[in-house]
Amino acid sequence: MSKIWLIVQREYLTRVRKKSFIIMSLIGPLLTVGMFAVPVLIAKMSDSGKVVAVSDAGGLFTENLPEAKDDISFTRASADLATAKAEFKKAKYDALLYVPKLDVANPTGFQVFSRKGLSMSLENDINRAVNNAIENQRLRAAGLDHKVLDNLKADVDLQTVSLSDDGEKSSSTGISTAVAYFFGFLIYIFIFIYGVQIMRGVMEEKTSRIVEVVISSVKPFQLMMGKVLGIAAVGFTQLALWVLLSMGISSVMAGSISPDKVVEDRAARTTALVRPTTTQDQAAKQDNVAAKFSQALKSADLNMPLLIACFLFYFLGGYLFYGALFGAIGSAVDSETDTQQFMMPVTMPLVLTFVVSQAVLTTNPNGSVAFWMSMFPLTSPIAMMMRLPFGGVPAWQLGLSMLLLIAGFMFAIWVAGRIYRVGILMYGKKVNYRELSRWLFYKG
Amino acid sequence: MHKQYANHTALDGVSLEVPEGSIFGLLGPNGAGKTSLIRIITQITGADSGEVLFRGERLNPSHIGHIGYLPEERGLYKKMKVGEQLLYLAQLKGIKKEEARHKIKGWLERFDIKGWADKNIEDLSKGMQQKVQFIATVVHDPTLVILDEPFSGFDPINANLLKDEILAMRDRGASIIFSTHRMESVEEMCDHIALINRSKKVLDGPVSEVRDAYRTQTYEVEGRGRLIVVHPDFEVIEHKERENGHFYDCIRIVHGKPNDLLRYLIGPANVEVHTFREKVPSINDIFIRRVRETHPDYVPESDSILA
């Protein structure tokens, strides 16, 4: 036992001290935050400070121009199109909106001129402003007050509730899906990264021939387990660092460019353009959107402690299961190029779960495909983690799945240990599956 | 000891005894089964049948700390520092950290490589790595040291250093098993030898006894004059004329004693004798003879195997 501990220590320390580990630990969270932040930043930058000139021949905007938003403002140009075009060329307007003489009942002939192509969002905004103005005119013609209409309009949020044997639980499908993907993806990526590290580590020992020295001191099984556990510790360290750093970075950046805020911005702008509402209304609406996200998290009733506990279990279980298999592959081959044929059957279920999950797991988290996939140890670490956030997984299923995974990795480690023991001392021999299966039954 | 692999027999009833405090040469051509035997002693693999006794006790995992093994294929963790690596390997053998540190320091000083402790293995030359590997083998003061082709990769100066260390270890009471197919390289150091060929032991015993048993009563004679042997007791195996009337002869005594031959040479043959010495069979010669006796059909694949 103390020897396994020594091996774990070595595997852990040599990896954690590597520059690549430190760099990955620092860059990982930056990348994650960046993945959210960059699109947001780009979205923010591109639309700012656009000026749209309005050539209002039809008198649609005689009373007032559409309200300026922080990134788009309107200005009046000559009603004559030719003069307006000249003005547009001289001044630095981004777009020129031409409103022809029009019949309110059947408005046609609107034109938007721009120097380069028009961005999608700007076009939408202009379109909305025009629609809005026409609607207002029609309302007035029909003798309706704007306020009355606002009162008539409905904007209802649906609260989805999952009804299971355990009783009612409110849930939010969107949030559940996001959480399911998040957990599934983490497990998937970590099994891959660290599984391959085990394989490389074993191959390094084999090709550098240190292995014969080491296994004259420890049992091959101890060496393999030490390596698997040591690298697991590295994985957990990296995960913990990522979580901590991501939280740190995002809390710093949250003030300016968090995704929620941008969502709010967009929502607020849309509502503002559709309906010139009072500031109070707008504030209420904003609150609504902001609150919606955090409320959804709460109302999703995700049972976070259970999810995190299960995540750690499946993370470790899946890793041990696959790690042992990767270790066995590493021991059976002489070089990286030979690994392909053995990698395939090991990585296939992993990739498959992830692909299938998009089609089946998240849409029908308690269907029979989802059930079987969350039982089978090769797929259960990811499949079960993707089912859990949706709730409604009976305790017996969770228990059975965990038991099967434990049994699965015991078996995988046994198989891997048998292959490993023979493989690490086998050089210059092309190994195939028949050979591997024979190794399983070699004596001592 | 029996050991069977999928399609060949590695060891077929090999039984050996390594006396304590001696250097034991385990000799044989490539593929004879030496490495299989060593892997059984180091508990890397198990035997199909038979058992290993270590000081009268059945070999078990508690003996691992008493055995040091230098495999033929050397290897160390390339990206690990020399000091850390030695410490790790020593701890795996079951010594406490502090004690290991102390011993490593001693060995690094003895080999005059103290400054390397903080270098990565990959920054060292091949010869330097061999030294580190040797230290890793013996750092835990094993009572049984197994060296598989220990001199390969050493330059003559370091080979001498290594030889001295091995002799010093024996004098401290350790037993050393030397495995090699280059028999002449260990003849001078070994107290005992065993020859293995094609998974069978063909010969073993103390070197002097083995030599005695294979003495051929052949003597080399050098001198001046015209040597013509016409005596029925003596048979000339080889005769060479050299310049200035010198000669070299290889003579087997069919009957009688060396002194009889000497008397004949200076008497009836009437030649001037400058050199008279017994032609001692080399281990290599003995091996080839032994193999011919036990496997008459066996032809060595090439000279290099037995060279």
pLDDT digits (tens, 9 = 90+) for A12-54: 998 888 888 888 888 877 777 777 677 667 766 655 667 888 8
**Distance from the A389 Cα atom to the nearest Cα atom in chain B, whole angstroms:** 43
SS (H, E, C) chain A: CHHHHHHHHHHHHHHHCCHHHHHHHHHHHHHHHHHHHHHHHHHHHHCCCEEEEEEECCCCCCCCCCCCCCCEEEEEECCCHHHHHHHHHHCCCCEEEEECCCCCCCCCCCEEEECCCCCHHHHHHHHHHHHHHHHHHHHHHHCCCHHHHHHHCCCCCCCEEEEECCEEEEECHHHHHHHHHHHHHHHHHHHHHHHHHHHHHHHHHHHCCHHHHHCCCCCHHHHHHHHHHHHHHHHHHHHHHHHHHHHHHHHHHHHHHCHHHHHHHHHHHHHHHHCCCCHHHHHHHHHHHHHHHHHHHHHCCCCHHHHHHHHHHHHHHHHHHHHHHHHHHHHHCCCHHHHHHHHHHHHHHHHHHHHHHHHHHCCCCCCHHHHHHHHCCCCHHHHHHHHHHHCCCCHHHHHHHHHHHHHHHHHHHHHHHHHHHHHCCCCCCCCCHHHHHHHHCCCC
Is B92–A211 a contact, with Cβ atoms under 8 angstroms apart?
no
The distance of A439 to chain B (nearest Cα, Å) reads: 10
Contact indicator for B26, B177 with CB cutoff of 8 Å: yes
User: Would you say residue A264 has pLDDT above 70?
Assistant: no
Q: At what angle do helices A19-46 and A259-274 cross, to 10 degrees?
A: 10
**What is the pLDDT, as a whole number, of residue B146?**
92
Q: Can you tell me the distance from the alpha carbon of A12 to that of A226, in angstroms, rounded to the nearest whole number?
A: 10
Q: What is the pLDDT of residue B144?
A: 92
B297 touches chain A (CB under 8 A): no
Selecting from B67, B74, B80 the residue whose C-beta is nearest the C-beta of A14 gives: B80
- Which tokens in the block code for residue B8? 């060949």
Model confidence at A76: pLDDT above 70: yes
CA distance linking residue A386 with residue A382, whole number of Å: 6
Position A161 scores a pLDDT of 62
Residues in chain A closer than 8 A to B43 (CB atoms): 216
Give the count of Cβ contacts less than 8 A between chain A and B: 65
In A, minimum Cα distance to B69 occurs at A213
Contact between chains at A212 and B43 (C-beta distance less than 8 A)? no
Q: Does B69 touch chain A (CB under 8 A)?
A: yes
Q: Which of A14, A209, A217 sits opposite B92 (nearest CB)?
A: A217
The single-letter DSSP state of residue B43 is T
A431 touches B at CB < 8 Å: no
Is residue B289 within 8 A of residue B257, CB to CB? The reply is no
> B19 to chain A nearest CA, in Å?
22
Cβ–Cβ gap A208/B46 under 8 Å: no
Q: What is the mean pLDDT of residues A357-384?
A: 79
For A213-260, write each residue's pLDDT tens digit.
888 888 888 888 899 899 989 988 988 888 888 778 777 766 555 455
Cβ-contact A299, A157 below 8 angstroms: no
A211 touches chain B (CB under 8 A): yes
Q: What percent of chain A has pLDDT over 90?
A: 2
Residue A30 is predicted with a pLDDT of 77
Q: What is the mean pLDDT of residues A317-339?
A: 85
Distance from CA of B218 to the nearest CA of A (A): 45
For chain A, the average pLDDT equals: 77
Residue whose token pair is 């852990």: A12
Which of the four pLDDT bands, split at 50, 70 and 90, describes residue A288?
Answer: low
Summarised one tens digit per residue, pLDDT across range A157-189 is 666 665 655 444 455 567 777 778 888 888 888
Q: Is the pLDDT of residue A348 over 60?
A: yes
Residues 212-251 of A with CB under 8 A from B: 212-219
Q: What percent helix, strand, coil does chain B show, rounded to 5?
A: 35, 25, 40
Average pLDDT over residues A299-307: 69
Most trustworthy range by pLDDT among A64-68, A70-74, A98-102, A198-202: A198-202
Q: Residues of A with CB below 8 A from B74's CB?
A: 209
Give dist(CA A177, CA A358) in Å, integer. 10
- Give dist(CA A244, CA A247) in Å, integer: 5
- What is the structure's pLDDT at B307? 35
Instruction: Give the ipTM of the model, two decimals please.
Output: 0.76
Per CB-CB distance under 8 Å, the chain A contacts of B90 are none
Q: What amino acid is encoded at A227 in this protein?
A: K
| CB spacing of A213 vs B75 below 8 angstroms | yes
Contact A216 B78 (CB under 8 A): no
Tell me which chain B residues have a C-beta less than 8 angstroms from the C-beta of A214.
89, 92
* CA-CA-CA-CA torsion sign (A26, A29, A32, A37): negative
**B227-236 contact pairs (CB < 8 A, 24+):** B227/B265, B227/B269, B227/B271, B228/B269, B229/B264, B229/B269, B231/B264, B231/B268, B233/B260, B233/B261, B233/B264, B234/B261, B234/B264
Pairwise CB contact (< 8 Å): B75 & A208: yes
> In chain B, which residues have their Cβ closer than 8 Å to the Cβ of A218?
92
C-alpha to C-alpha distance for A281 and B295, rounded to whole angstroms: 105
The one-digit pLDDT tens for each residue of chain B (307 residues) are 888 877 778 888 888 888 888 899 888 887 788 888 888 888 888 888 888 888 888 888 888 889 999 988 788 888 888 989 899 999 988 888 899 999 999 988 888 888 888 888 888 888 888 888 889 999 888 999 999 888 877 888 888 888 888 889 999 989 999 888 777 766 778 888 888 888 888 888 888 888 888 888 888 888 888 887 778 888 888 888 888 888 898 888 888 888 888 888 888 888 888 899 888 888 888 888 887 777 666 555 444 444 3
Is B22 at the interface with chain A, CB within 8 A? no
- Chain A contact for B90, CB < 8 A? no
* Cα separation, A143 vs A316, whole angstroms: 68
User: Quick check: B70 and B147 in contact, CB under 8 A?
Assistant: yes
Which residues lie below 8 Å from residue B174, measured CB to CB, with a gap of 6+? B21, B141, B142, B143, B144, B145
The answer to whether B75 contacts A209, with C-beta atoms less than 8 Å apart, is yes
Q: In 3-state terms, what secondary structure has residue B82? A: helix
Structure tokens at B222: 């050098």
> What residues contact residue B80 under an 8 Å CB cut-off, 6+ apart?
A14, B88, B120, B121
Place of tokens 């901590």: A244
Tens digits of residue pLDDT in A408-430: 888 888 888 888 888 877 776 67
User: Using alpha carbons only, what angle is made at residue B230 by residues B227 and B232, rounded to the nearest 5 degrees?
Assistant: 135
Query: Does the beta-carbon distance from A216 to B42 stay under 8 Å?
Result: yes
Q: Which residues contact A107 (CB under 8 A, 6 or more apart)?
A: A134
In this prediction, residue B306 carries a pLDDT of 40
Q: Given CB atoms, is A208 within the 8 Å cutoff of chain B?
A: yes
Using a CB–CB cutoff of 8 Å, tell me whether B4 touches chain A. no
Q: Of A223, A220, A209, A237, whose CA–CA distance to A12 is shortest? A: A237
State pLDDT tens for residues A124-154.
Answer: 888 888 888 888 888 888 877 777 777 777 7
Question: pLDDT value at position A95?
Answer: 82
Burial grade of A209 (CB within 10 A; 0-12, 13-18, 19 or more): middle
Of A210, A215, A425, the CB nearest to B77: A210
- Nearest CA distance, A244 vs chain B (angstrom): 29
d(CA B92, nearest CA chain A) in Å: 6
The sheet with strand A111-114 has its strands ordered as A72-77, A50-56, A95-99, A111-114
Tell whether B6 is within 8 A of chain A (Cβ). yes
Instruction: Give pTM, 2 decimals.
Output: 0.70
Contact B166, B68 (CB under 8 A): no
A interface mutation test: which of B92, B126, B139, B146 has the most A CBs within 10 A? B92
Which of A3, A217, A435, A438 has the most B C-beta neighbours within 10 Å, making it the best mutation to test the interface with B? Answer: A217
Q: Which residues of B touch A438 (CB under 8 A)?
A: 6
Size (chain A), residues: 444
Q: Cβ contacts (< 8 Å) between B94 and chain A: which residues?
A: 3, 217
Nearest to A383 by CA among A393, A395, A394, A371: A371
* Tokens found for residue A37: 């932040």
How far B46 CA sits from the closest chain A CA (Å)?
A: 5
Q: Could you tell me if A54 and A99 are in contact, meaning their C-beta atoms sit under 8 angstroms apart? A: yes
The count of other CB atoms within 10 Å of the CB of residue A185 is 15
Q: Which residue of B has its CA nearest to A211?
A: B75
